[in-house]
Amino acid sequence: MDRETELLEHLSDRDLDFVVGAVVAEPRERPRVRELVRDKADFVELMLDDPRLYRRIVADQEILLKVSPYLLFTVLLRQVRRELSRSWTLEWTGPRERVPVFDAPTVRAVLENPTHRRYLAEMLASFTRVHSATLHVRVGDRTVRLRVSELDPRSLERLVELVGETQRLALWRRLGDVTLFLTGIFPDHLGAGTLGARLPGADDEWGRAKGREERGLAIETLDALERQGQLYYRRAAEHPNAPLTGLDQVLGGLADEFRSARKALNFLADRFIHHLRFSWFPSPS
């Protein structure tokens, strides 16, 4: 799928109407402009970067009733990219604690890649509705119930062990997504242990950290989760069927640049959706 087709297929007619309405000041001109850009992704790209569209979106507390989550996060990620032109970011060090770090060019580079930016917008949009199910699976000579949720990485890990190799690609990818999403959008949950204790591979770090200060515990856990997220994406990227999805390169890129992607989402969460994240996303606790 080429870049133009991919972008336009993600935007609904209602999205395009909203974009044109925000960018074109004269109401009588909007229908004509709407027809002109219907099949022209380059023009749509220009409008997505228009500051008037960003201002219209952030001024509306009920924006998700008017546009798709994909359009919302596409516009916000583009704004993050613009604002990261300065020389520093805020690094998460604990619940409600941030310190300045001069790594903005590295973080911004992730969002300069249109494939990565589009993937992150899709991923964020997918978490506005989280699916869960109770499965009955065969374990030896017994049938057991397994409750699986997209926000519970440990349940997804258990499912990976029970399915065939072909099905593991989607699960590894989703495990990478949920780790990036939770550490990026809800990092303050790390300090309370609600996220770290649920992720596979984090138990040892938590056990060794007993008796340490909570702040040190949280930082160590974040590092462990980043390594785990990199591993998930790497396994997805190296799955034999990954090239068939066309996602092998972006998944490998996120494995390599997990920290920068996480910090881009931290910036988005702190700067733009601090008070709205619990309205837009299910609570991870």
pLDDT at 180: 97
Query: Which one has a higher pLDDT value, 114 or 193?
Result: 114
Nearest to 186, CA basis, from 234, 131, 225: 225
Neighbouring residues of 202: CB distance < 8 A, sequence distance ≥ 6: 196, 221, 224, 225, 228
Mean pLDDT of the 47-52 span: 95
pLDDT at 208: 39
Question: 110-114: long-range contacts (C-beta < 8 A, 24 or more apart)?
Answer: 110/257, 110/260, 110/261, 110/264, 111/77, 111/78, 111/80, 111/81, 111/84, 111/264, 112/81, 113/253, 114/3
Confidence of residue 173 (pLDDT cuts 50, 70, 90): very high
pLDDT at 3: 52
pLDDT at 195: 56
Mean pLDDT, all residues of the chain: 86
Q: How many CB atoms lie within 10 A of CB 7?
A: 18
Instruction: Decide if pLDDT at 68 tops 90.
Output: yes
What tokens were used for 46?
């220009």
pLDDT at 47: 95
Spatial separation of the C-alpha atoms in residues 172 and 177, rounded to whole Å: 9
- Mind listing the pLDDT tens digit for each residue in 207-260? 333 334 444 445 668 888 999 999 999 999 999 999 999 999 999 999 999 999
What tokens were used for 30?
């909007």
